[in-house]
Amino acid sequence: MMSGEFIAFMGIALVAVIGGVLLLNLSNVMHMMVALVFTFVSIAGIYVLLSAEFVAAVQILIYAGAITIIMLFGIMLTRHEDTSEAPGSSWRKFAVFLGVLGFAAVLYFGIYNLDLPQMENTLHEKNTMQIGEALYSKFVIPFELTSVLLLVALIGSIMLAKKDDEKEGDKE
């Protein structure tokens, strides 16, 4: 059972979960974001183990590279309180915690009994080319729609972040 793949999986999964737990437990908002960078990068490692190297590279490029940075900008440009805790709502937190725990238990029961036969696959051979061929033949209309969505998001976020009374807007 102790194959190299298993050791790699355990290491990466540990880093990912620790990053997530730190996100919940740290009090400083900046510290939370830096903890989350480790989670995002280790999720890219999980993709590599699942023979999805292109998705892994895109994961690092988009999540660790772009989304984290604009979130850091968001924290810097708005007023940052060092504590993110609401006073006097611990019973509500506990209820949420119980609910999430119940949800996790139900799903874990489903996963635990899952037994999938391992099939031969060719995902690791020319992974990028396979994705490209699928994108430009089978999924060409969703692909084009994505470009429209990104354009709308770009213009929309510029319009929203722009100041009403002044001429210059924030560039994202």
Partner 1 sequence: MSGVPASAFLSLALILFCIGLYGALTKRNTVIVLVSIELMLNAVNINLVTFSKYGMMPNITGQVFALFAMSVAAAEAAVGLAILFALYRNKKSVNIDEMDAMKN
Partner 2 sequence: MMEELLHSSPGLVNFGIFFLLGTVLLLVVLGFVTYAILAERKVLGFMQNRMGPNQLGGKWGLLQTAADVLKLLLKEDTIPKLADKPLFIIAPVIAFAPSFMVLATIPFTDKLQFADIGVGLLYYIAISGLTTIGAVTAGWASNNKYALLGGMRAAAQMISYEIPLVMSVLGIILLSGSLNLNDIVAAQADTAWFIFLQPVAFFVFLIAATAELTRVPFDLVEAESELIAGFHVEYSGFRWAFFMLSEYVYLFAMSALVTILFFGGWLPLPFLGFIPGAIWFALKFSMVVFIFIWFRATFPRLRADHLMEFGWKVLVPIALANIFLTALGKELFEYFF
For partner 2, the binding residues (CB under 8 A) are 4, 28, 30-31, 34, 37, 41, 53-54, 56-58, 60-61, 64-66, 68-69, 72-73, 76, 126-128, 171
Q: Please, are residues 36 and 66 in contact by the beta-carbon 8 Å criterion?
A: no
64 binds partner 1 (CB under 8 A): no
Which residue number, 13 or 33, has a Cβ lying nearer to partner 2? 33
CB of 93 to partner 2, least distance (A): 25
What are the structure tokens assigned to 17, written together? Answer: 């979960």
Within 8-37, which residues bind partner 1 (CB under 8 A)? 9, 13, 16-17, 20-21, 23-24, 29, 32-33, 36
Check if the beta carbon of residue 35 is closer than 8 Å to that of residue 71.
Answer: no
b/e for 12-47, b at 16 or more Cβ within 10 A?
beebbeebeebbeeeeebeebbebbbbbbbbbbbbb
- Nearer Cβ to partner 2, position 18 or 57? 57
